[in-house]
Chain A
């Protein structure tokens, strides 16, 4: 086979050499020949075919690349996205087509002289000012939307904590007292993934969950943490993305507008689930950091929360880390039953 490949390449090179020699004999060098016309034509053809193809694909496949939207601020960012698409789309088509058209129209002609046109201040001023105006629109709109999104969350927002680690996410809810217990990375171990500080009273009713539940129609503030390397908290359907940084908490607030059930009905897909993904390279399993996000109606959400068991209740052996004076209070706050207590002892 290797010999075959060498033979084929050899023949190709021979043909190439022959073609070159014939070309040298036939054509005076330096003068543009037929190929100049062909190249000019190809530019024009490429431009037309390209633009038609892009327009057709953008139209026909819209539902495939347009990700369903389920958050309030997402409507604003999507709107800004489409405004930008409209402006840049028009510029994209006009400038590219003109570029190809000029290449075609002003192809070399024997005996013709190019126009000596070194500059024109008026023209240059126009195309400095026009983009500046378009940009002013995009910037001002962008800054307003950005300001809204990054504004401080209202005091009654539902606060949850999400932590990324190689290679999964975990979520923590503050529990009935509505305040998170302190944490310390030095307290982390195989069960205490969050490094919950059991000397803090607030930690006793904190709970974790396999799926992230959030309510519809209420602002959710996510406190984002990372345990080892950078991750990025990415909820594509909610237009939410914020890096998870070790040693520094980050935040993102948003409001879901459609429950999981509503989205399933809308997409006619009973299997549909909102997903949390990682958007910052974090190692071997970067592509598998998935967690399901469930959006409930507010009352269902409250019901779900009430059913969740405190982390301490599920890990009663950690009671030994609770200072003796607080242990009784911790048992009550975590809702640990006598049987569970006995079983752990």
Chain B
């Protein structure tokens, strides 16, 4: 009934003003239950975190690229973390690495990406007025907000934030006497992550429920845009794996504060033998990576979904192998749960397990390869418009190839012995997961900005942003492969202690300079983003000529999204450049009865169903999966 009221409200006001008049500032912009506002809250919080996480990486890259330079000038910002001789404190270096990882993986690429686009696009693309539970959705953001506040405050405490790396392996993370970051900083990290997991679960339940229950008439699963498929699978993976991280964190909290020994055994530290016996640090690693590996796909899948949509739209071609894309995403989702121990080949785990996980890990390359080839075939024969979103999507595919292939090295246990915890791994996951996903996020922002804010982002600034970032990312991460092959271990404050690692100051300097430039390029984006919200060129209703339902909403969709009835869906989302069609795109809400010139015989059959009453339309929607199959086959023969 709430939706009915909202509908009336937007009916009366939508053409007068940008936003609705009911509610006050607090309920409209702060504690809003509108999925679009919540999405923007996630996005802006994500951008805030990305800047912090990025700035941290620039600071530790200064140490790695210019180990002899003094960074006295950072003293006003970092205070006592700069040592007396003008260097970054080694422990603070580790804290920076840890916070960079935590922030980027969880706050930017999980909350910033899924939080923004699952929230924004699910109701708009499936044809729903809002999420299944607007209230839970609001809670999801505010749990994330509180989690952010706690994590942010941990940066400013005297003993420093958590510093045992983002994987927080005990005993290092369990013992405050092992490093100063394992004191209050770690406590705050765990508290923040616990709330973060609650936020993710609240969001995920909502995404899944909404996709299953609230699709508009005719929007069968086989007509869902790939974005929605990706968000749906992502939420499912998250729902199954995040609770395991929560349990891992809880047991760690018990070990830290209540004297249990889940992860601790036979420890002598700081001149004292601890009473803990019988625990296993390996147990934590299993629990952590049971989330940790699916997390990689929680991060990556939404980006792949966004890219599918953007590449198809701007190639003016249907995505190649729609069903194969869904199949490979399902394959990746399932496999993501049975590969976690490839992070643990050399932890002392039973070598037989190493064999099993090598096998399963390399299998995941097959669906990934299918996705890449399908993207490339989508480009083939296209009529490509290089919008900024499109540039970032192509960049994503390139990173996904380059970073994905090195997975065949580190996923193979025998090769991983040497490469494990070296810069090769850093290069691998920053390309395939970090940069690829980050580009997916940016592609999404550029592509859906006109819908989000009713204005266009500046294209020229977008191009500059893209080319600096694209070249920058490759210059940062490609050289790290060589450094990794040479055996340089990760998380080293400096390499001067070892003869084996005293080379490559030149490459490290190049990487650091590239990192600074890449970070600088993101400031162009931030300017473009905020400037365009207020002063950007006005957007037309469907600026990219896209097929999906969000482009049928008014320029500023109100609470409830469509002022009148929710559109009915008659076709799949990828009818681009269909032979015979008047324009090079046919939106999902256009019935086949209106496009006789481009219909296949099977589609002409469907017209009968369209013309009957509403009940039949619903039935048609439910029956379409099979029909869609037939239709695809005939298109191939044409």
Cβ–Cβ < 8 Å partners of B171 in chain A: 228-230, 246
- Tell me if A185 is interfacial: C-beta within 8 Å of chain B: yes
Whether the pair A185, B543 counts as a contact (CB closer than 8 A) is no
Cβ–Cβ < 8 Å partners of A323 in chain B: none
Chain B, residues 83-97, CB within 8 Å of chain A (1/0): the string is: 000000011001000
- Tell me if B498 is interfacial: C-beta within 8 Å of chain A: yes
Cβ–Cβ < 8 Å partners of A121 in chain B: 636
Given the known interface contacts A96-B402, A99-B401, A272-B499, the answer about A115 and B381 at a Cβ–Cβ threshold of 8 Å is yes
Among the listed stretches A123-131, A203-211, A297-305, A331-339, which one makes contact with chain B, having 4 or more residues with CB under 8 Å of it? A123-131
Whether the pair A102, B346 counts as a contact (CB closer than 8 A) is no
Whether the pair A188, B273 counts as a contact (CB closer than 8 A) is yes
Whether the pair A279, B418 counts as a contact (CB closer than 8 A) is no
Whether the pair B470, A46 counts as a contact (CB closer than 8 A) is yes
- Tell me if B554 is interfacial: C-beta within 8 Å of chain A: no
Cβ–Cβ < 8 Å partners of A185 in chain B: 266-268, 273
Contact of A106 among B315, B474, B500 (CB under 8 A): B315
Whether the pair A119, B321 counts as a contact (CB closer than 8 A) is yes
Given the known interface contacts A65-B482, A150-B354, A247-B279, the answer about A138 and B362 at a Cβ–Cβ threshold of 8 Å is yes
A:81-139 near B, CB below 8 Å: 81, 84-85, 87-88, 91-92, 95-96, 98-100, 102-103, 106-109, 112-121, 123-124, 127-128, 131-132, 135, 138-139
- Tell me if B81 is interfacial: C-beta within 8 Å of chain A: no
- Tell me if B212 is interfacial: C-beta within 8 Å of chain A: no
- Tell me if B157 is interfacial: C-beta within 8 Å of chain A: no
Given the known interface contacts A39-B463, A228-B178, A287-B494, the answer about A275 and B383 at a Cβ–Cβ threshold of 8 Å is no
Contact of B267 among A64, A92, A247, A282 (CB under 8 A): A247
Cβ–Cβ < 8 Å partners of A283 in chain B: 91, 94, 172, 178-179
Tell me the complex Cα distance, A285–B495, Å: 12
Contact of A146 among B351, B459, B495 (CB under 8 A): B351
Whether the pair B279, A241 counts as a contact (CB closer than 8 A) is no
- Tell me if A242 is interfacial: C-beta within 8 Å of chain B: yes
- Tell me if B525 is interfacial: C-beta within 8 Å of chain A: no
Smallest CB–CB gap between B475 and chain A, Å? 10
Whether the pair A285, B90 counts as a contact (CB closer than 8 A) is yes
Whether the pair B266, A247 counts as a contact (CB closer than 8 A) is yes
Cβ–Cβ < 8 Å partners of B281 in chain A: 230, 245-248
Whether the pair B315, A65 counts as a contact (CB closer than 8 A) is no
Smallest CB–CB gap between A7 and chain B, Å? 17
Tell me the complex Cα distance, A243–B345, Å: 10
Whether the pair A135, B401 counts as a contact (CB closer than 8 A) is no
B:60-75 near A, CB below 8 Å: none
Interface bracket on B: 35 or more
Tell me the complex Cα distance, A286–B421, Å: 13
Residue picked from A76, A106, A114, A277, most chain B C-beta under 10 Å: A114
B:15-49 near A, CB below 8 Å: none
> In chain B, what residue has the closest Cβ to A286?
B491
Cβ–Cβ < 8 Å partners of B153 in chain A: none
Whether the pair A103, B379 counts as a contact (CB closer than 8 A) is yes
- Tell me if A312 is interfacial: C-beta within 8 Å of chain B: no
Chain A, residues 155-170, CB within 8 Å of chain B (1/0): the string is: 0000000000110000
- Tell me if A217 is interfacial: C-beta within 8 Å of chain B: no
> In chain A, what residue has the closest Cβ to B98?
A281
Cβ–Cβ < 8 Å partners of B465 in chain A: none
Cβ–Cβ < 8 Å partners of A127 in chain B: 369-370, 373
Whether the pair B366, A245 counts as a contact (CB closer than 8 A) is no
- Tell me if A306 is interfacial: C-beta within 8 Å of chain B: no
Whether the pair A88, B354 counts as a contact (CB closer than 8 A) is no
Chain B, residues 564-591, CB within 8 Å of chain A (1/0): the string is: 0000000000101111000010000000
Whether the pair B383, A112 counts as a contact (CB closer than 8 A) is yes
Whether the pair B636, A65 counts as a contact (CB closer than 8 A) is no
> In chain B, what residue has the closest Cβ to A143?
B355
Chain B, residues 406-421, CB within 8 Å of chain A (1/0): the string is: 1011001111011011
Given the known interface contacts A20-B458, A131-B369, A287-B497, the answer about A116 and B317 at a Cβ–Cβ threshold of 8 Å is yes
- Tell me if B318 is interfacial: C-beta within 8 Å of chain A: yes
Whether the pair A290, B498 counts as a contact (CB closer than 8 A) is yes
Interface bracket on A: 35 or more
Chain B, residues 479-490, CB within 8 Å of chain A (1/0): the string is: 000110111011
Whether the pair B489, A279 counts as a contact (CB closer than 8 A) is yes
Whether the pair A142, B497 counts as a contact (CB closer than 8 A) is no
> In chain A, what residue has the closest Cβ to B175?
A229
Cβ–Cβ < 8 Å partners of B401 in chain A: 91-92, 95-96, 99
- Tell me if A199 is interfacial: C-beta within 8 Å of chain B: no
Whether the pair A99, B354 counts as a contact (CB closer than 8 A) is no
Given the known interface contacts A81-B418, A123-B377, A247-B267, the answer about A118 and B320 at a Cβ–Cβ threshold of 8 Å is yes
Chain B, residues 339-372, CB within 8 Å of chain A (1/0): the string is: 0000000111001001100110011011001101
Whether the pair A275, B500 counts as a contact (CB closer than 8 A) is yes
Whether the pair A61, B415 counts as a contact (CB closer than 8 A) is no
Whether the pair A39, B391 counts as a contact (CB closer than 8 A) is yes
Given the known interface contacts A150-B351, A245-B348, the answer about A114 and B316 at a Cβ–Cβ threshold of 8 Å is yes
- Tell me if B269 is interfacial: C-beta within 8 Å of chain A: yes
Tell me the complex Cα distance, A228–B504, Å: 32
- Tell me if A154 is interfacial: C-beta within 8 Å of chain B: no
Smallest CB–CB gap between B557 and chain A, Å? 21
Whether the pair B377, A117 counts as a contact (CB closer than 8 A) is yes
- Tell me if B627 is interfacial: C-beta within 8 Å of chain A: no
Smallest CB–CB gap between B349 and chain A, Å? 9
Cβ–Cβ < 8 Å partners of B362 in chain A: 135, 138-139, 142
B:156-175 near A, CB below 8 Å: 164-165, 169, 171-172, 175
- Tell me if A294 is interfacial: C-beta within 8 Å of chain B: no
Cβ–Cβ < 8 Å partners of B359 in chain A: 139, 143
Cβ–Cβ < 8 Å partners of A138 in chain B: 362, 408, 412
Whether the pair A113, B584 counts as a contact (CB closer than 8 A) is yes
Whether the pair A114, B576 counts as a contact (CB closer than 8 A) is yes
- Tell me if A4 is interfacial: C-beta within 8 Å of chain B: no
Cβ–Cβ < 8 Å partners of B348 in chain A: 224, 242-243, 245, 248, 250
Cβ–Cβ < 8 Å partners of B155 in chain A: none
Smallest CB–CB gap between A135 and chain B, Å? 5
Tell me the complex Cα distance, A108–B317, Å: 12
Whether the pair B172, A128 counts as a contact (CB closer than 8 A) is no
Cβ–Cβ < 8 Å partners of A229 in chain B: 171-172, 175, 178, 267, 269
Given the known interface contacts A99-B376, A247-B279, A287-B493, the answer about A119 and B316 at a Cβ–Cβ threshold of 8 Å is no
Tell me the complex Cα distance, A30–B545, Å: 9
Tell me the complex Cα distance, A117–B322, Å: 11
Chain A, residues 233-264, CB within 8 Å of chain B (1/0): the string is: 01011011111011110100000000000000
Smallest CB–CB gap between B278 and chain A, Å? 8
- Tell me if B478 is interfacial: C-beta within 8 Å of chain A: yes
Chain B, residues 263-287, CB within 8 Å of chain A (1/0): the string is: 0111111010100011111100000
> In chain A, what residue has the closest Cβ to B492?
A287
Tell me the complex Cα distance, A224–B418, Å: 17
Whether the pair B282, A81 counts as a contact (CB closer than 8 A) is no
The 3 closest A-B pairs by CB, nearest first: A247-B265, A150-B351, A115-B381
**Beyond known contacts A116-B579, A118-B318: 18 more, CB 8 A cutoff:** A32-B385, A65-B482, A81-B415, A88-B406, A102-B382, A114-B316, A115-B381, A119-B323, A143-B413, A147-B351, A185-B267, A230-B281, A237-B500, A247-B267, A271-B499, A281-B164, A286-B491, A286-B492
What are 22 sample pairs from A and B whose C-beta atoms fall under 8 A apart? A16-B458, A19-B460, A29-B540, A57-B482, A84-B415, A103-B384, A112-B383, A117-B381, A138-B362, A143-B355, A228-B175, A228-B268, A229-B267, A247-B279, A247-B280, A248-B282, A277-B489, A280-B421, A281-B164, A283-B94, A287-B90, A290-B497
